[in-house]
């Protein structure tokens, strides 16, 4: 089982990228017909109630997929969080790549290219952490 502080770090990274994304939550997280009033797993509850989480409601919403709710340990939860983060970063990267194709100012293009590089790095980071969690919880 991963130490709680390691899991909190993973969650903070995910929530930071996820909340800064220009995409709505429903663009990444499939609709699962689960309302926030349905109790999620105790693991998700504990995580979203942690000190590092600033927006508990968003945390619960982001982690309310059936796959996440069914997790049984912190390693499995961390891996799923990283996969969600990578999927969100990839979707946002695709949006930036589409915007870059449209005419715009050189300053805007430069800024968008910096965002593209940042999201490429974020995707690699999410994937690296996800694979490390599987190999060495």
pLDDT tens, position by position, 87-135: 989 999 999 999 999 888 999 999 999 999 999 999 999 888 888 766 6
- Report pLDDT for 118: 93
Q: Which pLDDT score is estimated for 40? A: 45
Reply yes or no on whether the pLDDT at 34 is more than 50: no
- Quote the percentage of the chain above a pLDDT of 90: 25
Please tell me whether residues 53 and 87 are part of one structural domain.
no
Report the mean per-residue pLDDT for the chain.
Answer: 75
> Looking at residue 33, what is its pLDDT?
41
Q: Which domain holds residue 126?
A: 73-136
Rounded CA separation 6/11 (Å): 9
User: Domain check: are 108 and 91 in the same one?
Assistant: yes
- The CA distances from residue 7 to 43, 50, 80, in Å, are 11, 10, 12
Q: What per-residue confidence (pLDDT) applies to 17?
A: 56
52 and 107 share a domain? no
Q: Which two tokens stand for residue 121?
A: 């790095």
- pTM of the full structure: 0.62
In a domain, 132, yes or no: yes
Q: Are 89 and 129 in contact (CB under 8 A)?
A: no
pLDDT value, residue 15: 52
CA–CA separation, 22 and 135 (whole Å) = 32
On the question of pLDDT at 53 being above 50, the answer is: yes
Indicate whether 77 and 102 sit together in one domain: yes
Of residues 34 and 65, the one with the higher pLDDT is 65
Give, to the nearest 10 degrees, the angle between helix 4-20 and helix 74-101.
20
Residues 84 and 121 in one domain: yes
Domain count, the chain: 2
| Same domain flag for 65 and 77 | no
Tokens representing 69? Answer: 């709710």
Q: Is 6 among the domain residues?
A: no
Nearest to 7 by CA among 61, 70, 58, 63: 63
Alpha helices in the chain (DSSP H): 4-20, 25-28, 42-48, 56-62, 66-69, 74-101, 106-135
Domain annotation covers residue 118: yes
The structure tokens listed for 55 are 């927006």
CA 136 to chain centre: 20
Residue 84, pLDDT score: 87
pLDDT tens per residue, range 114-124 = 999 999 999 99
The answer to whether residues 112 and 83 belong to one domain is yes
């Amino acid at each position: 089982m991963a130490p709680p502080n390691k899991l909190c770090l993973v969650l903070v990274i995910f929530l930071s990228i996820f909340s800064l994304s220009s995409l709505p939550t429903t663009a990444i997280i499939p609709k699962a017909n689960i309302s926030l009033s349905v109790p999620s797993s105790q693991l998700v509850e504990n995580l979203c109630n942690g000190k590092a989480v600033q927006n508990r409601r968003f945390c619960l919403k982001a982690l309310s997929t059936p796959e996440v709710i069914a997790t049984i340990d912190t390693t499995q939860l961390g891996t799923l969080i990283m996969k969600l983060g990578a999927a969100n970063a990839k979707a946002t990267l695709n949006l930036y790549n589409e915007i870059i194709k449209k005419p715009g100012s050189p300053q805007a293009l430069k800024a968008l290219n910096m965002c593209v590089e940042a999201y490429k790095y974020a995707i690699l980071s999410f994937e690296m952490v996800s694979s490390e969690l599987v190999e060495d919880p």
